[in-house]
Each structure stands twice: as structure tokens, then as C-alpha cells.
Amino acid sequence: MRFSRLALTLGLLLAASGAHAAIDTSPVPPKHPGWSFDGPFGMYDRASLQRGFQVYKEVCSACHSLNRVSFHALSSDSGGDGFFTEPQVKAIAAGYRVPAGPNDKGQTVDASGNPLMRPGIPADHFPPPFANEEAARTANNGALPPDLSIITKARAGGANYVYSIVTGFHQTPPAAFKVMPNKYYNPYFNGWNISMPPPLAPNQVTYSDGTKATVEQMAHDVVTFLSWAAEPTMEDRKRIGFGVMLFLIAFAGLLYLSYRRVWADIH
């Protein structure tokens, strides 16, 4: 192909000049802001989760889906680490429109040809912002905003990485580095050219609990929420783990004493 040959020639020229080969655009190490859920006893900060949910709902969800999370999981009655009451979850779900099945006449579209929709119920999952991948790419200069359901587990660096990406804009790139068209400079992102525009600006959301909505605060809250979304059974896991450890250590002690007693007549 003519284009690939052209690209190859250009690439060779660049390599020969050595001008651009000098910049290493591998990501810089992520920030470590510290999390409520760090460590063996760390649990999710409930207030931060609720604020983070607000940030996701008002900001991120414009482009990013949360396909694997159900409204029910938000409920503290879900068996997981939910952080809203059941009536609150019902109200949140009802605020979303989700595709309805065929009605009792077998119709799947209304009179004007639009798919039938109904208010969400707790059993529904968060509806995606775009109908399909093509629609998402069309709306985002060809880039696909990733689903955020397990984003903190799907990226090396986890919560720290996502926090660094969200807060890593508005820095001056090195003079030798070219920011590509429709891209933004973010040194925490591999290659430094990211398609996502800076998502947060100060006071972008209004917190009902009076917390000041700085970029760092919103980022911290939304990453706490996304960490919960990726691992909604973490608190259960750590609580059970604590009991298991206590049992195993006590059991090991008893086994050690039995071992010494049984072997006492041999040594």
C-alpha cells in the first residue's frame, strides 16, 4: 500500500534524524493519594462512595458505561458493600430509562418508531451512554471510552492509576513532545496522548454534604466509587478473612502443641 510505504519512509527519516527517538513516552509512576480501603482493615468511606457516585452520574456517565453494575448492588441490603438504603436505590433506578420488552400487543417500538422504554428497577444494570461501540466512537473522535465496571482492576496501578489519569491534565508537555490533534497531554497515560478531554473542573458538581468540590476531591471520590464498582464484596472479603486468619492461627497453635505431644516420646 502506498500509505504504508510513505509511513515507512517517514519513520525511517525520523529514526535517522534521531530527533524524536529521544523522548520516552512510557507512563510516569502514578500518584499515591492514599485510600480508605487500603490495607487489611481498610473499608470503603461511605460518604466518599456517595459523592463518587454523584461524580460518576453527573460527569463520567456521559461517555463511560458501567455495564456490569446493577442498581441493586448500591443497596446496603445487597449482600455486598452497598452504600444506599433500599428506598434510595429504588429512586435512583427509577431515574434511569432502560429498554422495555415487548408490550402486551407485541410491539417493541412506540408510534414514532422509538424503542419502548421503562423506568429502571433495582434489578437493572446501569444503562450505557451509547447504543453500541460505533456510536461511542463516532461521538468521541474515533476513541472508545472504556467501560468503568472493573477499571481499577483492569489497569496496572489500579485506583492510583485511575486517580492519576483523572487529575493528570493541565501540565505543560516537554518542548520536544508533540500533542496530536484531538488528543490531550497526560504523562500518566502510556504514550502521553490521551483521547479523553480533562473530565473535571473545580466545582463541576455540587456536593450536598458541603464538601468542597476540588478536582482532587472529586477524583478521589469517583475513584473510591469505581474501586467499589470493581470489587463490591471487598469489605465482606476482609471481614471473613479476619475471622479465617484468627481461626487458622489458633488452629495452627493447637496443631503445634499436638505435634510436640505426639513426638515427645521419640526425640
Q: Answer yes or no whether residue 131 interacts with other proteins by CB under 8 A.
A: no
Which backbone phi and psi does 66 adopt, to 5 degrees? -140, 55
Residue 191 binding other proteins, by CB under 8 A? no
Query: Which of 120, 122, 158, 168 is in the footprint of other proteins by CB under 8 A?
Result: 158
Nearer residue to other proteins within complex by CB, 95 or 191? 191
Interaction pattern, residues 25-44, with other proteins; x per rule: CB under 8 A: ---------------x----
For other proteins, which is the closer residue by CB, 52 or 158? 158
Helix axes 46-58, 215-230, angle to 10 degrees: 100
- Tell which one of 128, 154, 211, 214 touches other proteins (CB under 8 A): 154
Q: How far apart are CA 117 and CA 95, in angstroms?
A: 12
β-pairing, 193-194 vs 97-99, is unpaired
Q: Give the nearest distance from C-beta 66 to other proteins in angstroms.
A: 12
Residue found under cell 461501540:
133
* 175 lines the binding site for other proteins (CB under 8 A): no
Q: Which stretch binds other proteins (CB under 8 A): 44-52, 89-97, 203-211, 225-233?
A: 225-233
Q: And the C-alpha cell for 178?
A: 508533540
Question: How far is Cα 37 from Cα 33, in angstroms, rounded to an integer?
Answer: 12
Report which of 70, 64, 82 is spatially closest to residue 126, judged by C-alpha positions: 70
Q: Could you tell me the smallest distance in angstroms from the CB atom of residue 109 to other proteins?
A: 25
DSSP-assigned states of every residue in 165-188: HHH--S-PPPTTPPPPTT-EE-TT
Identify which of residues 31 and 58 has a Cβ nearer to other proteins in the complex: 31
CB nearer other proteins, residue 206 or residue 258: 258
> What binding mask, one character per residue, do residues 62-81 give for other proteins by CB under 8 A, x or -?
------xxx--x-----xx-
In a 3-state reduction of DSSP, which class is residue 75?
A: strand
Reduce the secondary structure of 185-244 to three states and give it as a string. Answer: ECCCCCCCEECCCCCCCCCCCCCCCCCCCCHHHHHHHHHHHHHHHHCCCHHHHHHHHHHH
- The residue range among 109-117, 172-180, 220-228, 255-263 that interacts with other proteins, by the rule CB under 8 A, is 255-263
Residues binding other proteins (CB under 8 A): 40, 68-70, 73, 79-80, 149-150, 153-156, 158, 190, 230, 232-233, 236-238, 240-242, 244-245, 248-249, 251-252, 255-256, 258-259, 262-263, 265-267
